[in-house]
Structure 1
Amino acid sequence: MSTAKPRAWPPRTTRARTTRPRPPTKQTAQIPDAVTSHYTCLLDDSGIMPLIDDELGPRSGPAGMPIRAVLVCLMVSIHHSGKATLADAWRLAAFCLSAASREHLGLDADGPPADDPHACLADNRCFYRAFDRLTTLLDVARHDRRTRLPQHQADLLAAAWQDDDPGHIRKRDLLQDIVTALVLTPVRWSKGRGHLAGFRGDVGIDTTATPVFARPPRTRRSTGELIASTEITAGWHHSAGAGQAEYGYSATLTVAARTRSVLGSFPQLALGLVLDTPHKRIGANAITTLKPLSTLGFPTAFAVVDRAYTDQQPAHFAQPARELGYRLALDYKVDQRGVQGSAHGALLIDGSLACPLMPDRLATATTGLDDAAIRRPSEELTALITAREPYLLRLKQNANADGAIRFQCPAAGTSPSLTCPRFDRLHQRGPLRPAAVDLTDARQRAAHLAAKPRVLPPQPDLKAGELPKICRQHTITLGKDDLGHLDKFRQDLAYLSPTWIGTYKSVRANTEGINGRLKGHDLDLGNPKNRLAHGRVAQTILVALLVTVANDHFLDQWRHTQQPPDGADTSADVLEITAEQADRMPPPNRSRPPPIP
């Protein structure tokens, strides 16, 4: 038996005791009145409460807790903790607001006694019931969200979110109007103070996964019956490049972005939000986010999207986006690159109309290339893309009221980009008179016809009546339906050209940056534990509140970095604000206190 003595523990010193980790305290810090007032002003200025009150109408019985107070407390909870849970929002409302803030929100000034569990439970139930009134009011297919229904019953309820019933359409539109009004309120404030003076109208559109805490459908072992999820309209969101799908919803976000050629700075804000079933109505949801921007007076420039939107039917995305005034910058899948079709004899090559006699080596430069070769183009590919430019049809006239666009043959006009014997023969254009050229002037050398590419028609060439329309005329008119389903591939920049790269990659970086900030440390849209309430309406409202508070944070952070500490807001591009709106808006300087740690 060993007689060795056990080693003694080190002595408990004062320093060791002070460095021990301490469990977090249950008591929450007091919320400053300035923060509560700020988000109360934001909610009131959004104008959603009159919409809710009109839909709610007169109700018998006790009034209950105001819905306005619940929404404000949810935003305050998101601001301080990043969580949009009713439990955290009620705790802040009950124990962390001052008497003046509670009274201003229509709550009891004293609040429930902390030492009375029955009073706290009653107040908590009132808080939950107020949010339940809102979700019941806007729900298209109300059902018990605590029970997992058989899949065939859940499918009948889920169909109400996409059918043509007038009552269902009205409720869906009302819910979307509330979401849009919330998200755009910080944007209107930013524009009214001149912060978006540098915004030129370039937007990025993307869908991001919004997982839910509910479990996906499963088969019951005892009966073999398929049981639906409590989120009956949720689905599996598959992200490009992600190995594992996420069960929940897809949030379509439109982001204020900038290209490389844009100077100045402005806050990168979310300009629109739509929550929907994954991979459903992708193009229509994008158009829904773009339509309200015209009411704010924003310019329209490029709409940059990924390949999910390129696959949409032209009537679902490309054509409505162009009707709103946006030009498109697109990317393609591997099997979509190269020659995509033709119209009036002109080839559609990587989204651009080109001369039908473009050399095959140039027309097929991107055919079959994988994504790695496109993201990092080689010198040979860059040279081929540059050599395509003289063969591309030039825009002669923008779209008219019917959506028709005129394009000009590259060999026509006073400054042709190439020479074409077929064009000279058909249009009886003789050789130009020789002119003196200063060989030391690079511009004169490049403008001479001898320096331009020469088209080589087949020998013997086709007869005049057999030639395509683009060769018989100086210009062609491209109608809205001339390309058919291939119109979804047409874009307004030459694919992989320096201008396309400066537009597409910059805007996509802004879009992914916003997605990353929304799923960051402070605010995490991708964590379903931050949105525990069940139901399509509840998830839509909570996601809208998260994006609204995120917009407010983005704006505040931009002002801290772009404006001097005591600098006033710029007066450029200021909206006309009524006296009533001015009273509700927060002060223009940086007077709002930072969040409490």
Structure 2
Amino acid sequence: MHEAKNREHDRGCHPDSRYKAIARTLYAQLTPETREYLGIAGLTGNSRTWYGRYWRAVNRIFELTYPWEVNRKSHATAEAYQVALDSYSQKKRDRSDYLMNLLVQAPLGRLPQEIRDTYAGNVALDATLIEIAGRTNPNASSVDLPRRNLDAMAGAYRRGGNHDGQGAKTDKAGWEMETVVTVPNSPKQPQSFPILTTALALHHPGRTKHGPRIAMEFHANKFDERGLILVDRLYNGSKAHRFQKPTRQMGFRHVYDYKLKQTGRQGGVDDVILVDGRLYVKWMPEHLQTVRADFKAGLITREVHDKRLASRAQYELKDKGRPDADGRQYFFYPDLRKVMCFDPATGNRLTRTPKTPTTFLLSPDDAVSMRIIRHLNRFAYKTPEWREWYGMRSHVESNNQYVKADAETDLGNPDKHRPRGYAFQAFNAAIAFAVANMRRIVSFIQAQAMKVLDARTLQRARRRTDELGNRLPHRDL
């Protein structure tokens, strides 16, 4: 038993060892300039004194940022869990989210201005598991059961579906973190901007009603640029008033993927229809509206599929700028004078070209328009342009894996962040993503320098010197 405790201490998992390590840093390793910056220049004391100061400061923060009041040192009974649910404070949760995003955004100020000015505003958004040690709690609806994890408010995560665990043996205890990362300005310019985490939101696994919007709000408050949001199928399945409408009001447009049942005609208003995420005139022939379903059913070949997708372009409405602050956006009608148009009711070809206005206004004012906004895609689905842009969504997944890797911040190791509650997990993850940001900024600057300078120019000077004290050259020069 003592050996197990010693091993845990050696791995740095014991909370007291972490407090002592930071106390030693505050006591012995801070420079006068750093002390001045932190506002502790006049404080004195030994390492034990600094331990107490740090311990009290951290617990004051936790007192102000834990949304639920619950004992974190013992397993909560069903009665204690119900009391904790009733104690929920949205004010404390908002405060925790604010501090969490201050932490992750702090390193962004170190990004050189000449690089910062090149940002086009594109981001990718995804959720990732923040796993904690211990067994999973009963699901949220089982309020009459005692909690099985020391973090009484943590949820259960499952890999499939919408990640809300229901008690399977493969479920994992933890929280889910929405992460917003910057992506390159164009698929054809993969090194145009560094991959940086710009905003976070923490919630129970599968509870994605508000987290994506909250994370995007923190990003939008930090950056003025408005580009594209690249997301997976989970997000265009959201209620439009919770995610699509508010993010469009911020000025963003979306790049989505769809389930097969979501393809084809997805809505319509007046003489405009939504097919596979893009707006077309309603006189587009039927066989161009069912391309994806026909291909999946084996009715057409890949070659025919691609040709039909390309044929849609002549019926497509084109974006006129970005959405405004009310979420409204104008689109240009296509020129139909040289296009074959068909009666949507009979399928017969029209003998006269339909008359259309110059622009179409999509405004989130009614249920019909909101159904269109829910699935509206910046690019025609499955076209080469869509594939190039949607492929950049992988940056957010690779960034999450990068932060979790044991060779980096090891956020994926639950033994490194014990079950200590919402605020602890939020700040722990934020610090990990902040450290990753610093490393990515340095790596990006180095990569940019390598383009300009010869690689050997950046080599560290040799330690060995000649008889005159001059550094010896590298042998490969």
CA contact (8 A) 1:145 1:535 kept: yes
Code of the residue aligned with 2:159 in structure 1: it is S
Question: Partners of 1:543 and 1:459 in 2: how far apart?
Answer: 56
1:384 partnered with 2:320: no
Measured after TM superposition, the shift of residue 265 of structure 1 is 3.3
**2:395 maps to 1:510:** yes
Q: Distance in 2 between matches of 1:546 and 1:292?
A: 18
**Is 1:182 equivalent to 2:182 in the alignment?**
no
User: Residues 88 and 196 from structure 1, CA distance in 2 versus in 1: closer, same or farther, beyond 3 angstroms?
Assistant: farther
1:477 alignment partner AA = L
Q: Give the equivalent residue in structure 2 for 1:149.
A: 76
Q: Residue type matched to 2:114 in 1? A: G
Alignment match, 2:375: 489
Residues 157/463 of structure 1: CA separation in 2 closer, same or farther (3 Å cut): farther
Q: Distance in 1 between matches of 2:243 and 2:440?
A: 29
Secondary structure of 1:271's partner? strand
CA contact (8 A) 1:196 1:267 kept: no
Alpha-carbon spacing, 1:471–1:234, altered in 2? closer, same or farther (3 Å): farther
* Counterpart AA for 1:334: L
Q: Once structures 1 and 2 are overlaid, which stretch shifts more, 472-481 or 298-307?
A: 472-481
**Equivalent residue for 1:525?**
411
Matches within 5 A, 1:89-488: 89-93=18-22, 99=28, 101=30, 104=35, 110-111=46-47, 128-151=55-78, 153-158=80-85, 160-161=87-88, 168-190=89-111, 192-217=112-137, 226-228=145-147, 229-240=149-160, 244-258=170-184, 259-262=186-189, 264-282=191-209, 284-367=210-293, 378-395=302-319, 399-400=323-324, 402-410=326-334, 416=335, 418-419=336-337, 449=338, 453-457=339-343, 458=346, 473=357, 475-480=359-364, 481=366, 482-488=368-374
Amino acid at match of 1:524: D
CA deviation string 1:423-477 (max 9, x = no partner)? xxxxxxxxxxxxxxxxxxxxxxxxxx4xxx422434888999xx9xx86655433
Mind listing any 5+ residue stretches in structure 1 that lack a counterpart? 1-25, 27-80, 113-121, 162-167, 220-224, 411-415, 420-448, 568-588, 592-597
Distance 2:98 2:82 in 1: 26
Say if 1:151 and 1:333 are closer, same or farther in 2 by CA, change over 3 A: farther
Distance across 2 between alignment mates of 1:328 and 1:302: 5
Secondary structure of 1:347's aligned partner:
strand
Aligned-residue offset at 1:362: 1.4
Which of 15, 28, 34 aligns to 1:86? It is 15
Q: Take 2:291 and 2:22, find their aligned partners in 1: how far apart are those partners?
A: 63
How far apart, CA to CA, are the structure 2 residues paired with 1:390 and 1:305? 27
Q: 1:405 to 1:133 in 2, by over 3 A?
A: closer
Paired positions, count: 426
Q: Secondary structure at the match of 2:150?
A: coil
- Mapped contact 2:118–2:193 kept (Cα < 8 A): yes
Among candidates 560, 574, 594, match of residue 446 of structure 2: 560
Identity of aligned residues (%): 22
**SS of structure 1 residue aligned to 2:115:** coil
Q: Which amino acid aligns with 1:512?
A: E
> Within 5 A, what are the aligned runs for 1:574-585?
none
Bigger-Rg structure (1/2) = 1
What CA distance in whole angstroms lies between the structure 2 residues aligned with 1:127 and 1:301? 41
Question: Which amino acid in the other structure matches residue 341 of structure 1?
Answer: G
Give a deviation string over 1:297-332, Cα, whole Å, max 9, x none. 441110111111111111111111111111111111
Change (3 A) 1:344 1:136: same
How much does 1:198 deviate?
3.2
Matches of 1:391 and 1:82, distance apart in 2 = 62
**Contact 1:82-1:523 within 8 A present in 2 as well:** no
CA distance in 2, matches of 1:184, 1:265: 20
What is residue 467 of structure 2 aligned with on the other side? none
- In the aligned structure 2, how far is the partner of 1:265 from the partner of 1:462? 48
Displacement of 1:230 in angstroms is: 2.8
| Partners of 1:393 and 1:209 in 2: CA distance | 39
Alpha carbons 2:24, 2:50 under 8 Å: kept: no
The question of whether the paired residues in 2 share the 8 Å contact of 1:524 and 1:530 is answered with yes
1:335-376 deviations in Å (ceiling 9; x for gaps):
1111112111322101111122222221111127669x9xxx
Amino acid at match of 2:242: H
What CA distance in whole angstroms lies between the structure 2 residues aligned with 1:154 and 1:487? 39
One-letter amino acid of the structure 2 residue matched with residue 479 of structure 1:
S
Q: CA 1:101/1:153 → structure 2, altered by over 3 Å: closer, same or farther?
A: same
Between 475-484 and 326-335, the greater mean CA deviation after superposition: 475-484
Distance of 2:405 and 2:278 partners within structure 1: 38
Q: Report if the CA contact (8 A) 1:188-1:296 is conserved.
A: no
Distance, in Å, in 2 between the alignment partners of 1:292 and 1:96 is: 31
- Report if the CA contact (8 A) 2:124-2:231 is conserved: yes
In 2, the alpha carbon distance for the partners of 1:127 and 1:460 equals 77
Q: Which has the higher contact order (CA 8 A, sep 6+)?
A: 1
Deviations 1:47-71 (A, max 9, x none): xxxxxxxxxxxxxxxxxxxxxxxxx
Looking at structure 2, the residues matched to 99 and 397 of structure 1 have their Cα atoms a distance apart, in angstroms, of: 56
2: CA distance, partners of 1:239 / 1:218: 17
CA contact (8 A) 1:304 1:330 kept: yes
C-alpha distance in 2 between matches for 1:89 and 1:405: 52
Q: Distance between the aligned counterparts of 2:275 and 2:71, measured in 1?
A: 53
Deviates more, 1:240-249 or 1:173-182: 240-249
C-alpha separation in 2, matches of 1:87 and 1:211? 21
Instruction: Report the secondary structure of 1:309's partner residue.
Output: helix
**Quick one: which amino acid aligns to residue 71 of structure 2?**
D
The alpha-carbon distance between structure 1 residues 392 and 234, as it changes in their structure 2 partners (threshold 3 A), is: same
TM-score scaled by length of structure 1: 0.62
